[in-house]
Amino acid sequence: MSQDTLAYDEALRIVLGASAKLGTEDCSLSACLGRVLAEPVISAVNLPPFDNSAMDGFALSGSSIVPAGTELAIEGEQAAGDGVVHAGIGAWEIMTGARIPDGLDRVIPVEQTERFAPSRVRLLADVTPGQNVRTAGSDVACGETLLDAGIALQAQHLMLLAALGIANVTVTERPRVAVICTGRELVDDPAQALEPGQIRNSNGPFLAARLPLAGADVVHVETVGDDTDAFESAMRRALSAGAKVIVTSGAVSMGRYDFVPHALQRLGAQTLFHKVAIRPGKPLLFARLPGDVLLFGLPGNPIAVAVGLRFFVEPALRVMLGMPRETSRRIALVTPYSKKPRLRFHLKSRLHVDAQGRLGVEVLDGQESYRIRPLAGANAWAVVPAEVDALPAGALVDVYGVGHLEFPLPYGSAA
């Protein structure tokens, strides 16, 4: 291995050290899905806000158990949405979710009662204090911390915030990211017929789709040929769009048309590393432009792009979003796996649950960096360290979701 080729952990340390948490902004509940909380959310109210009935029935009170056979006068009716009422010693007909009348402390289900006169009811079961009552604050108490900073808000979080009347939250700004694909062979228009030697641009659509799922705001996407001047112009357009992170694909290896390192010198960038001991994506380049704009120069092969995004760009985005460092899951291999030593491998994989309910990870066929189809069938990444060359079935490996905000449920039983 070349002395200039960094181990993955050292390269990631440099990436994380160059990344900084972004500022904050207020965000309305209707627009905060997927946003990352910058501050904890503390409840200012109780949930439920008042004692209410867990079912349709009759609310009543007593010093201890009210026994079966007791007959009570029906004093009134309380439906969901009704306000405060004060009750006496009888029973109140009550609906699910309705506020418990003051002075009453339990509810008997309607099916455990017998209404034997228009205004009287007989109990068919004992009723204990607090029975079938949802007490105020039993879900969330006033002053309780609901959500911690660093959480990416999902629909269930929005349900909780809405229930508590929280209309706005403080979130971290989205990292503004630009995508520049290089290669005179690339065709962006999927409807355009290909000339001999041309290929369709798959990296651009992939990056533009995955970056928002990772919490970023894509502000510029462009494809340029193998031309330094055109690349520099595209870079300036990306910077003018406000990009704080630029992700490029192609032109970072050692060939005659791999001009990105030279172009970055002309732009005043500081290259922090170029080449990492990984597969795929070994020629990956990381640089810092004036104004602390970060550039990730990813090799052009599609899976090298996917690995560079997942294991370098996304960790930087987590720092910018104020999220804790991601941790892997340790999951057993379904079948044995062997590889060349000295490189850390990132493998297109699929999670399975077998007939006995055991979770395992399968390394898919077709691990070459040009093969896209296996990636489409993958739901995870398995990582094998550089120093390991062979693993038996059942060995534990580090497994990551397809994105840092996504760790999906596994597929059904392995064949």
Does residue 74 sit in the same domain as residue 89?
Answer: yes
Does residue 60 sit in the same domain as residue 113?
Answer: yes
Per DSSP, the three-state class of 350 is strand
Sign of torsion, CA 188 194 195 198? positive
Rounded Cα distance, 333 and 392, in Å = 8
Helix (H) or strand (E) holding 307: helix 302-308
Residue 311 is classified by DSSP as I
Tell me what the mean pLDDT of segment 271-283 comes to: 97
pLDDT for 257? 64
Rounded Cα distance, 298 and 313, in Å = 10
Does residue 262 sit in the same domain as residue 187?
Answer: yes
Does residue 235 sit in the same domain as residue 261?
Answer: yes
Does residue 204 sit in the same domain as residue 285?
Answer: yes
Per DSSP, the three-state class of 358 is coil
Phi, psi of 353 (to 5 degrees): -115, 125
pLDDT for 4? 80
User: Number of structural domains, the chain?
Assistant: 4
Q: Which residues have CB under 8 Å from 43's CB, separation 6+?
A: 140, 141, 142, 143, 144, 145, 146, 164
Asked whether residue 412 carries a pLDDT value surpassing 60, the answer given is no
Strands 113-117 and 106-109, bridge-based pairing: unpaired
Tens digit of each residue's pLDDT (9 = 90 or more) over 52-77: 999 999 999 988 999 999 999 999 99
206 domain-assigned: yes
3-state percent breakdown (helix, strand, coil) of the chain, nearest 5:
20, 35, 45
- CATH number, domain of 87, equals 2.170.190.11
Tens digit of each residue's pLDDT (9 = 90 or more) over 149-181: 999 999 999 999 999 999 999 999 999 999 999
Rounded Cα distance, 84 and 77, in Å = 12
Tell me what the mean pLDDT of segment 346-368 comes to: 94
Tens digit of each residue's pLDDT (9 = 90 or more) over 120-144: 999 999 999 999 999 999 999 999 9
Does residue 128 sit in the same domain as residue 114?
Answer: yes
Task: Return the percentage of the chain with pLDDT > 70, whole number.
Answer: 96
Rounded Cα distance, 301 and 104, in Å = 70
pLDDT for 258? 78
Among candidate residues 310, 306, 307, 410, the one with its CA nearest the CA of residue 352? 410
Confidence of residue 236 (pLDDT cuts 50, 70, 90): very high
Tell me what the mean pLDDT of segment 205-220 comes to: 98
Greatest CA separation for the chain: 97
Rounded Cα distance, 314 and 302, in Å = 17
DSSP 2-68: -TTPBPHHHHHHHHHHH-----EEEEEGGG-TTPBBSS-EE-SS-BSSS-EESSSEEEE--SS-B-T
- CATH number, domain of 157, equals 3.90.105.10
Confidence of residue 200 (pLDDT cuts 50, 70, 90): very high
Does residue 179 sit in the same domain as residue 286?
Answer: yes
188 domain-assigned: yes
Tell me what the mean pLDDT of segment 370-377 comes to: 96
Among candidate residues 213, 216, 166, 159, the one with its CA nearest the CA of residue 27? 166
> CB 266: neighbour CB atoms within 10 A?
13
Confidence of residue 411 (pLDDT cuts 50, 70, 90): low
Confidence of residue 289 (pLDDT cuts 50, 70, 90): very high
Helix (H) or strand (E) holding 320: helix 314-321
Does residue 312 sit in the same domain as residue 194?
Answer: yes
Confidence of residue 88 (pLDDT cuts 50, 70, 90): confident
Strands 285-289 and 24-28, bridge-based pairing: unpaired
Task: Return the percentage of the chain with pLDDT > 90, whole number.
Answer: 91
pLDDT for 256? 65
Tens digit of each residue's pLDDT (9 = 90 or more) over 381-406: 999 999 999 999 999 999 999 999 99
pLDDT for 409? 61
The residue type found at 334 is V
pLDDT for 414? 44
Rounded Cα distance, 177 and 174, in Å = 9
- Using an 8 Å Cβ cutoff, are 372 and 303 in contact? yes
Rounded Cα distance, 406 and 183, in Å = 31
pTM of the model: 0.90
Does residue 312 sit in the same domain as residue 206?
Answer: yes
Q: Give the chain's end-to-end CA distance (angstroms, integer).
A: 39
pLDDT for 415? 40
Does residue 311 sit in the same domain as residue 347?
Answer: no
Does residue 179 sit in the same domain as residue 236?
Answer: yes
Rounded Cα distance, 320 and 318, in Å = 5
Tokens of 346: 């990132």
Structural domain including 348 reads 330-400
Does residue 101 sit in the same domain as residue 167?
Answer: no
